[in-house]
Amino acid sequence: MPFGLCNAPATFERLMETVLRGLSSEACLVYLDDIIIVGRTFEELLNNLRKVFQRLQNANLKLNPKKCSLKQALTSAPILTYPRIDKDLILDTDASNEGIGALLSQNIGNEERVIAYFSKRLGEPERNYCVTRKELLAIVKSIEHFHHYLYGRKFLLRTDHASLRWLLNFKEPEGQIARWIQRLQEYDFEIQNRKGTSHGNADALSRMP
C-alpha cells in the first residue's frame, strides 16, 4: 500500500482486524502494524504467539525481526531466574517436524520460573524419524544440554508424548534407542505426561528453533 494516502491507515487497520478476527483482547491487541501479544500465564502467552504467527503466515504478512522484542524479552530479567538448590528442577521437552525445544524451570513461590531455554533445528535424517523417536531425541539432547544443571539431581521430566513412559522401561531396546536409553540411565528423573494444550512452552520452542 502506498504511503501518504489519507485512507491508508484506516484500510490497513481493517486488514489487521480481519486477519486477527476471533482472537480476543486477552490474546492480542493491534493498532496498525503494532501487535502486542499477551497471556495470563507463560504457557498461554506462547499459545497466543503461535496463533498470531499462524494468522500472519496464512495472510502472507511478514514481520520485521528488528522490530520484534520476543527473544530479547524472553531472555532478560525478570523472566529468567537463577537456579536454587532447595527447589526441584523441571524439564519440559517437545519435538516437531522442524526441531526440538526445551526449557528448564523451578517452582518458586506460587510461580513457575524459567531458568534457561534450548532449541535446535532437526537435520534432514532426523526429520524422517517417527514421532516417538523425535520426542526421545528431544529428551536426550535437552538433558545433555542442561547436563551441568541436572546431573546428580533428581528432576521432573514433562512431555506430551505418553508412549515415552513405556519406551524408557522397554526391556530389550536395540540400536540407537538402546544407546539413548543407556545415556539417560545416568540421570535421576521422573517422567510426567501432560496434555499438549498444557505443553505450549516447549512446543513453541520446537516449532521455531
Residue 158: per-residue pLDDT: 92
pLDDT digits (tens, 9 = 90+) for 152-162: 999 999 988 87
Confidence of residue 9 (pLDDT cuts 50, 70, 90): low
Give the C-alpha separation, 39 to 27, whole Å: 6
User: Is the pLDDT at 1 greater than 60, yes or no?
Assistant: no
Q: Where are the domains of the chain?
A: 7-75, 89-193
- For the segment 43-50, the average pLDDT, to the nearest whole number, is 84
57 backbone dihedrals φ, ψ, rounded to 5°: -65, -45
Architecture of domain 89-193: 2-Layer Sandwich (3.30)
Residue 157: per-residue pLDDT: 94
Give the Cα-Cα-Cα angle 135, 119, 145 (nearest 5 degrees): 85
Q: What is the DSSP string of 114-163?
A: EEEEEEEEPPHHHHTS-HHHHHHHHHHHHHHHTHHHHTTSEEEEEES-TH
Asked whether 165 and 131 are in contact (CB, 8 A), the reply is no
- For the segment 93-103, the average pLDDT, to the nearest whole number, is 91
